[in-house]
Amino acid sequence: MLSRQHIITYGIALVFILALNFLLPRMMPGDPLMAIYGEEALVAMTPQLKAELVERFALDQSIWQQVGAYVLALLRGELGYSYYYNAPVFSVVLGRLPWTLLLVGTSLVLSTILGIVLGVESGWRRGSWTDRTMLAGLMSLNGFPDFFVGMVLLIVFGVIGGIFPLAGALTPYSGLTGWASVADIVTHMVLPVTALSLAHLSGGYLLTRNTMITVLKEPYILTARAKGLPPHAVKYRHAGRNSLLPVVTQTGIWAGRVFTGALFVELVFAYPGVGYLTYEAMMARDYPVIQGLFLVVAVAVLAANFLVELSYRKLDPRVSRAH
């Protein structure tokens, strides 16, 4: 199972995130309450509320007592209160999370599967015209930032083509139910998901292709060929399956990247996920929401990496014995 080393690694990462979240507003010059809540919110506050907040954050006490108050609040699931949305930060973030997960999950699955298939085909034909075209094409695609791909798709298929909706995740006030509402969500998803999948296709492709090239040199591939197996069986059952492992390890890291990629793409399509929320909160200087988002997203990505590492160890027992 997991080694102590890994638990320490993730522990340090978590402490780093929490420490950053705790220290940033408190290191700002001036009133820490202002840095925690933002200027606008502070103007509207009554003296009683201010006093209450100072007490809640233990701001009049030593730094260690402040740390204690901070950790206790986190353990209770309190991320603060957003004066802009007039709701607890936790519920604001939670309300947006499903949209982002939908976007990221779909894109991750699509781009990984397509990347693996293209990588296997490309590596199998390595050096051929098809392989070189695919390699150059996908590497170029890799250079196109996801938000630029998104904007081009938006203009071509949304503004000019008018095929897909321009913004949002649902048609507002449409009163759609059942399958009609599912179809509505899907049509709103098409462009952002395409942008994200295209921008993140090359990772899986390049890795699978590289592994494929190494795996194809293995003796068991020669054996499989020598015993007369049809090419597609050698390609997918023998070489392809063994090229999967590195892709699995990377999925955790990609999940993080697609998640942050969604931040940009959501802004392009005004898609109401956590990425767009981050943008809104920054524009409104809603510091509690920014902090809460940072915590939730960072911990989610850490958790994804952690889970992938666990599953990798299950898939390839050599890894856990390697240390």
By the criterion CB under 8 A, which residues form the site for other proteins? 5, 8-10, 12-13, 16-17, 20-21, 24-25, 28, 35, 126-128, 132, 135-136, 139-140, 142-145, 147-148, 151-152, 154-155, 159, 210, 213-214, 256-257, 259-260, 263-264, 267-268, 278-279, 282-283, 287, 290-291, 294, 297-298, 301-302, 305-306
Q: Choose between 176 and 294: whose C-beta lies nearer to other proteins.
A: 294
* 19 vs 27: CA distance, rounded Å: 11
Q: Minimum distance from CB of 23 to other proteins (Å)? A: 10
Residue 82 backbone dihedrals phi, psi, to 5 degrees: -95, 120
* Cβ pair 288, 82 in contact under 8 A: yes
Vertex 142 angle, CA 267 and 279, to 5°: 15
Q: Minimum distance from CB of 63 to other proteins (Å)? A: 18
* 118 vs 142: CA distance, rounded Å: 14
Q: Minimum distance from CB of 307 to other proteins (Å)? A: 12
Q: Minimum distance from CB of 228 to other proteins (Å)? A: 27
Q: Choose between 17 and 42: whose C-beta lies nearer to other proteins.
A: 17
Q: Minimum distance from CB of 155 to other proteins (Å)? A: 6
* Cβ pair 260, 157 in contact under 8 A: no
Q: Which two tokens stand for residue 77?
A: 């699931």
Q: Choose between 201 and 263: whose C-beta lies nearer to other proteins.
A: 263
Q: Which of 267, 278, 272, 252 is nearest to 9 (CA)?
A: 252
Q: Choose between 140 and 174: whose C-beta lies nearer to other proteins.
A: 140
* 6 vs 285: CA distance, rounded Å: 36
Q: Minimum distance from CB of 206 to other proteins (Å)? A: 8
Q: Choose between 236 and 279: whose C-beta lies nearer to other proteins.
A: 279
* Cβ pair 202, 115 in contact under 8 A: yes
Q: Choose between 152 and 233: whose C-beta lies nearer to other proteins.
A: 152
| 90, amino acid identity | F
Q: Which two tokens stand for residue 82?
A: 């957003």
